[in-house]
Amino acid sequence: MGKYFGTDGFRGEANVNLTVEHAFKVGRFLGYYYGKDHKANIVIGKDTRRSSYMFEYALAAGVTASGADAYLLHVTTTPSVSYVVRTEDFDCGIMISASHNPYYDNGIKVINAQGHKLEAEVEQQIGDYIDGKMGELPLAVREKIGRTVDYAMGRNRYIGHLISLATRSFKNKKVGLDCANGSASAIAKSVFDALGAKTFVIHAEPDGTNINKDCGSTHIQSLQKFVVDNGLDVGFAYDGDADRCLAVDEKGQLVDGDMIMYVCGCYMKECGKLANNTVVATIMSNIGLFKALDEAGIAYEKTAVGDKYVYENMMAGGHSLGGEQSGHIIFSQYARTGDGILTSIQLMEVMLEKKMSLSELTKPIQIYPQLLVNVKVADKRAAQSDPQIIAAVEASNKELGGNGRLLVRESGTEPVIRVMAEAKTDEICRQYVERIVDLLKANGHAAD
């Protein structure tokens, strides 16, 4: 990871460590980089954060100052930007979002012409430009100055694309949608309504400061209650930019990304659509997923955490399904990034085709108790490479054997170390996590 761009773009608190000057320079570089031999076209989308409007204009100013044209999708989802970039004549796309983070954070995700995240070497060049290591870029003048174009039609084309993927009607299915007061608020209901579902929506009234606040995929409890209280068949929760989806079955039970991959993987195998008979997951996926896939005769591969690594593995191996426990699910036949609404549609398809409830579909997978604790640290790499921490993790995994595991890793988007344990009971998980957390504190890594 570079100085500015982590696993999910350039992320920070708005006007603290991600400023309008940063956004302007990102726009300046992209307009210059893609416009060296032609007039570049760059599409920009944003989520519902208060600061997204500010960054949208700063990016557009930078893009047009370098001579490229900026096409504005306005409030939309990350996967919609990916779709528009790869299906139309755009050089790259930009999504302004901090995904599941609080409203005061924001981020700049750059998507290349193929619809997936920007190459690391280009991100490094952007960082060098921001730091003044490559001098000033030429400004466009006169007729070469770029323009901004209202491109809401691109978002509408994406909605049509989603609707076209469903092969059957959702008629009479009662579906709950938690839009996290984010990007899905502008899209999800119209898709499910068009497919015939009886759609019930919560948290779809963004005000700029309520995105992800006690709602969406990171706060699933309200959707669980809503599904049960209203007797719904299923519920889907998205994050701020709708590239994640978690589900709730008719009993109000959480169906996370691992369980979604299991259900869809088994169905795709039955239909002959699971390429290489393989599901791509990350090292954070629950051990229960891997045991269930073994039982179903499905192979799997494990990557580093981050949907960009999942996608890279899928492309390299020609796999068709992959994702993360957090709900980033990639169906490579249809998308180049995680797509929450697409994931919802795919789950609905399985339920309808199999004529089974979601609780029935997930019954074969037994998820192990898991505990994840985030420890804010002064230096992530120093904490991660501490010999005592490494030794303690190795000893813990030896003790757990095949009945669990302990994983310690640094976040790609926050100044924290994530300590995760899986075991047969919650108490065992707690004991192993506390062992590492206490050691991080004792060795002076924990920040105040």
pLDDT single digits (tens) 115-159: 988 999 999 999 999 999 998 999 999 999 999 999 999 999 999
Please report the DSSP string for 134-166 in residue order: T-PPPPP-GGGS--EEE-HHHHHHHHHHHHHH-
The number of residues in the chain equals: 448
Q: Which two tokens stand for residue 369?
A: 């108790």
151 and 71: one domain? yes
Contact between 257 and 328 (Cβ < 8 Å): yes
Query: What pLDDT was estimated at residue 36?
Result: 95
Under the phi-then-psi rule, with left for phi > 0, alpha for psi from -120 to 50, and beta for the rest, what region is 242? left
Confidence tier at 241 by pLDDT (50, 70, 90): very high
Contact between 109 and 44 (Cβ < 8 Å): no
Under the phi-then-psi rule, with left for phi > 0, alpha for psi from -120 to 50, and beta for the rest, what region is 71? beta
Confidence tier at 410 by pLDDT (50, 70, 90): confident
Query: What pLDDT was estimated at residue 297?
Result: 98
Please check whether residue 160 lies inside any domain of the structure.
Answer: no
To the nearest 10 degrees (0 to 180), the angle between helices 257-270 and 287-296 is 10
- Spell out the residues 6+ positions from residue 286 whose beta carbon is closer than 8 angstroms to its own: 256, 258, 325, 367, 368, 370, 422
As a whole number, the mean pLDDT across the chain is: 95
255 and 338: one domain? yes
81 and 186: one domain? no
Residue 32: enclosing H or E segment and its boundaries? helix 20-34
The number of distinct structural domains making up the chain is 3
CA distances (Å), origin 113, targets 26, 199, 403: 17, 34, 44
Q: Is 99 a catalytic residue?
A: yes
- Mean pLDDT along residues 75-89: 96
Contact between 357 and 250 (Cβ < 8 Å): yes
Query: What pLDDT was estimated at residue 308?
Result: 85
**Minimum mean pLDDT among 177-181, 227-231, 353-357, 420-424: which range?**
420-424
User: Given 99, 183, 285, 320, which residue is catalytic?
Assistant: 99
CA distances (Å), origin 321, targets 336, 337, 401: 11, 11, 29
Q: Which two tokens stand for residue 164?
A: 């076209």
- Residue 410's DSSP bridge partners are 417
H and E: helices and strands count for the chain? 15, 19
Indicate the pairing of strand 405-410 with strand 416-422.
antiparallel
Query: What pLDDT was estimated at residue 1?
Result: 53
Dist CA 194 CA 160 (whole Å): 10
Confidence tier at 364 by pLDDT (50, 70, 90): very high
State which amino acid sits at residue 422: E
Tokens 């996290």 appear where?
A: 180
Under the phi-then-psi rule, with left for phi > 0, alpha for psi from -120 to 50, and beta for the rest, what region is 99? left
Query: What pLDDT was estimated at residue 210?
Result: 98
pLDDT digits (tens, 9 = 90+) for 254-263: 999 999 999 9
Per the annotation, binding residues are 99, 239, 241, 243
Query: 3-state DSSP helix/strand/coil percent for the chain, to nearest 5?
Result: 40, 20, 35
Please check whether residue 447 lies inside any domain of the structure.
Answer: no
State which amino acid sits at residue 44: I
State which amino acid sits at residue 230: N
| CATH number reported for the structural domain that contains residue 385 in this entry | 3.30.310.50
pLDDT digits (tens, 9 = 90+) for 314-338: 999 999 999 999 999 999 999 999 9
Q: Which two tokens stand for residue 144?
A: 């070469």
DSSP tag of 3: S
pTM of the model: 0.90
- Mean pLDDT along residues 410-429: 89
213 and 352: one domain? yes
Query: What pLDDT was estimated at residue 317?
Result: 97
Confidence tier at 209 by pLDDT (50, 70, 90): very high
427 and 354: one domain? no
| CATH number reported for the structural domain that contains residue 119 in this entry | 3.40.120.10
Q: Which two tokens stand for residue 433?
A: 């996590």
Confidence tier at 234 by pLDDT (50, 70, 90): very high
Say yes or no to pLDDT of 6 above 90: no
Q: Which of 300, 334, 362 is the last residue of a domain?
A: 362
Per the annotation, binding residues for Mg(2+) are 99, 239, 241, 243
- Spell out the residues 6+ positions from residue 127 whose beta carbon is closer than 8 angstroms to its own: 2, 3, 4, 5
202 and 66: one domain? no
Say yes or no to pLDDT of 7 above 80: no
Dist CA 157 CA 160 (whole Å): 5
Dist CA 386 CA 187 (whole Å): 46
Please check whether residue 315 lies inside any domain of the structure.
Answer: yes
* Residue percentage of the chain with pLDDT more than 70: 99
312 and 239: one domain? yes
Please report the DSSP string for 14-29 in residue order: BTTTB-HHHHHHHHHH
| Domain boundaries, position 413 | 370-442
DSSP tag of 432: H
- Mean pLDDT along residues 288-312: 94
